[in-house]
Structure 1
Amino acid sequence: RGYWAPAAHSPECLFLDRKDLYNMYPAKKPKVTAGEYGYQRMSHWCVFVTPNPCVRMPHERRRLNPKKAEVVTVFGATGYLGARIVKELLAHPEIKQVRATTRYPTLLDPKSDLAKLLDEGGDRIELHECDVTDRIQVNVAANGADCLIHAIDYHAEYTGNSHLETFLIGATNVAWTARQVRAERVIYCNGLDATFASESNYVDHRARGEDAVAANFPDATLLRFGPLYGAGYRYRGLGRFIYPCVYSRTRVQPTWVGDAARITVRAARASRAVRMKIDCGGPENISHIEFMQKMAKHFEPRIVFPFYKGLAMLFGRFLPWLVPNPWFDDNWILTWELDQVNRSPAMFDRLASWEKLEYRPHTMEEAAAIERGEAEVVPLHVLDKEYEQSELAEKEAFKQEEAEAAKMGIHRGKAEPGYGRSDGMETLANEIYPGSQFRVQPLQGAKYPDTVKKPGPQSLL
């Protein structure tokens, strides 16, 4: 039976049975995604799968000052950006362990970037099998980690792996699991093109994933990069030789993949990155066709020429039906419809750019020189020492300002509400669940007053 429709039913069928109710209000993800790509059902199909961000679990506490990352899980570690993030994490001496995840660890190419890092990393790197649409696998890969990094990106959809499932449900699973396993930080890597205003389902669902992460883990860091470039870019099909440029006048701020990976690692250890949206477009604001011409000039050469949108969309519609992993599709073409540039910090609250984390991105010429070995880049952990001093100076200045204000009778509001009680009742009242089974350690200084005749759990005394 199809969806329940009042107009198509006879009066005696208005008595609904279980199957009618299931079709009206689905309670789980279907095993087979219906339709061409799977977004005909749209986001409301998963309304019972996604958790409620308003619900806090009993063991949860808001971490106002999350610690610097030491154990990091990278989702999408076989990707172009993900492998580079793993490389930068392993190069940082303060990172104790890196967990690299992929859906198919047994199919890992021995010549790939991640395979080389697995050989060189020793005990500091682990390879995990993980599909972000499977919450159990996400939990296993994330358990014990301080920081979870979502660096998944792909275009070609197929049954059971639509953009809806990977970007929206997958990002929700990562953010929700971070709360379950008490991870301190979540970093969601996205693009400057991610917006609900795009006709591309790829772009649209990446924006939905960003919203899902912010809702389920409010202290997350949302990084948005311009079009990535660099040595070893993974061209597909004829893309290695030619680039038909549709929407050639679209403005872009391309980001070197090395800068993207380094700012991600810095965000994993920076206090300023908590609860922030950071637009990380590169220093050059150029047109789409100029970007591709520069990329062909400084990296792998290929022929770049403007192309008619109508013809490209025709190819993009039919290629997924003819080729298993197509060179491009209509989603990829529409990705370039809107400008990919940094937004003004006045547009949103807690929106910033590179300056917030005191990092200077490289131009395409500088990045090409570094990739060719003609110039050296300073290791990130060396730059981090200077940045950490800047953060400490900022905190000291804040304390000094607070002390000066206190002399004038101005006091900052505390994060935890209180009435000045010293008998521990206030601490107990702030507990979500009074039992001790969810508590990592007993409360310090929590004691019932003598007037209480029947005290609660004895472990609190």
Structure 2
Amino acid sequence: MSRKSSLQNQLVTLFGGSGFLGNYLSQALLESGARVRIASRNPERSHRLKPLANLGHIQFVRCDINDPRQVRAAVSGSDMIVNLVGSFGGDLIQLMGDSAGDVAAAATDAGAKALVHISAIGADGESSSSYARANAHGEDLVRKNFPKATILRPSALFGQDDNFTNLFAGLVQMSPVLPVFGPDSPLQPAFVDDLAEAIVVALENPSRHGGKTYELGGPEVITMMEFNQRIAKAQGRKRIFLPVPDPMSAAFAALPLTPINRDQWVMLKEGNCVSGDYPGFEKLDIKPRPLSLFLDKWMVRYRKHGRFGEEASGPAN
């Protein structure tokens, strides 16, 4: 980030900062001149960021977000706080609901200037998905305990090392015939770097963005079938995609040890697009980038013979 930032020397604590989004956000914050404290159950996963930080500009704290005492210790001395914690497993109401409220309360007690809470598109207290209900519960507690918090609801995130695009890329690489769950379900994937920038912008100007909720989706809407087809094309592979009827895919998602659980299935069927009821990237002065801008480059390693193989538009197998 080349522009001058108001985050210079501000201490920003990231709960869940050792995850996928945390890696990109930490780099964006360090580039802004902020000091970063990564609070996580496994902070050592972020040690690779050390060479990117100036002396004293990155700290690592072991913290279980479900323990209010550990949360308060991690927040101590922070100027700003970001809660990135999310999961599809475990006690979601506790992890993304009650614990999010504890972070907000600790932020208030610590006198933090800003709090950004990462929720998700589809947060809904009436949803049949426990993931959506947990996110809604967390949002409610965050607003109650830190009224000027900025809540960001991103769509599914993509990045070069994500667990989303690469999951399907691996399947396309291995199998000539693939089932597609929810083939007509719409997606509006967002680039992880764009979300990281959105968080930085919200922290830089809490007087403008505090107390607001933003829905952040990418610039293009595609279906699950189109998503798989794009990946196959970028790999230069011919694949047969079989739409799976909803009753069959719902039954599959209900089984143990499958790649998709019931919550993910419900969210897939509901779609992953902005509702239009909340401001988006444009209100943060960010022009989001589409998956199509990166996909061909990222799929090179999945092609037969890698960069020495056929181009994506060439013969496939």
Structure with the greater alpha carbon radius of gyration? 1
Greater mean alpha carbon deviation, residues 300-309 or residues 254-263: 300-309
Give CA deviations for 1:384-423 in whole Å, capped at 9, x if unaligned. Answer: xxxxxxxxxxxxxxxxxxxxxxxxxxxxxxxxxxxxxxxx
Cα gap change, 1:327 to 1:269, in 2 (>3 Å): same
Shift of 1:329: 1.4
Question: Does residue 1:328 correspond to 2:249, yes or no?
Answer: no
Indicate yes or no: 2:131 matched with 1:202.
yes
Q: In structure 1, the residue corresponding to 2:151 is in which secondary structure?
A: strand
Higher RCO (CA 8 Å, separation ≥ 6 residues): 2
Q: Which structure dedicates a bigger proportion of its chain to strand?
A: 2
Matched, 1:168 2:97: yes
Offset of 1:342 from its aligned partner? Answer: 2.1
Gaps spanning 5+ residues in structure 1: where? 1-66, 373-461
Determine whether 1:241 maps to 2:179.
Answer: no
5 Å-filtered alignment, 1:3-18, equals: none
CA distance in 2, matches of 1:211, 1:302: 47
Once the two structures are superposed, residues 214-253 of structure 1 have per-residue CA deviations (whole angstroms, 9 ceiling, x without a partner) of 1211101011111111211126997532574322222221
On the 8 A contact 1:230/1:371 being kept in 2, the answer is no
Structure 2 alignment gaps of length 5 or more: 1-5, 173-177, 300-317
Distance apart, 1:262 and its partner CA = 1.2
Tell me whether 1:275 sits opposite 2:211 in the alignment: yes
Instruction: Number of aligned residue pairs: give it.
Output: 285
Cα shift at 1:135 = 0.8
SS of the residue corresponding to residue 37 of structure 2 reads: strand
Deviations along 1:361-396, one digit per CA (max 9) or x if unpaired, are 111122447879xxxxxxxxxxxxxxxxxxxxxxxx
Q: Secondary structure at the match of 1:174?
A: helix
Deviation at 1:302, TM superposition (A): 11
Q: So what's the TM-score if we normalise by structure 1?
A: 0.56
* 1:237–1:327 Cα contact (<8 Å) kept: no
| 1:14-36 per-position Cα deviation (integer Å, ceiling 9, x unaligned) | xxxxxxxxxxxxxxxxxxxxxxx
Contact 2:14 2:82 in 1 (8 A): yes
User: What is the aligned-residue identity percentage?
Assistant: 26
* 3-state SS in 2 of match to 1:241: helix
Change (3 A) 1:115 1:199: same
Aligned to 2:280: 353
Q: Is the 8 A contact 1:244 1:307 kept in 2?
A: yes
CA distance in 2, matches of 1:334, 1:79: 24
Task: Give the aligned partner of residue 252 of structure 1.
Answer: 187
Give the structure 2 partner of residue 366 of structure 1. Answer: 293
CA 1:267–1:226 in structure 2 vs 1: closer, same or farther (change >3 Å)? same
CA distances 1:328-386 after superposition (whole Å, capped 9, x unpaired): 21111111121322233xx4xxx4212222111111122447879xxxxxxxxxxxxxx
Tell me by how many angstroms 1:82 deviates: 1.7
Amino acid at match of 1:338: E
TM-score (norm 2): 0.80
Q: Structure 2: which amino acid aligns with 1:279? A: E
CA distance in 2, matches of 1:302, 1:179: 55
1:227-238 equivalences in 2 (<5 Å): 227-234=156-163
Q: Does 1:213 align with 2:172?
A: no
Structure 2 residue aligned with 1:306: 243
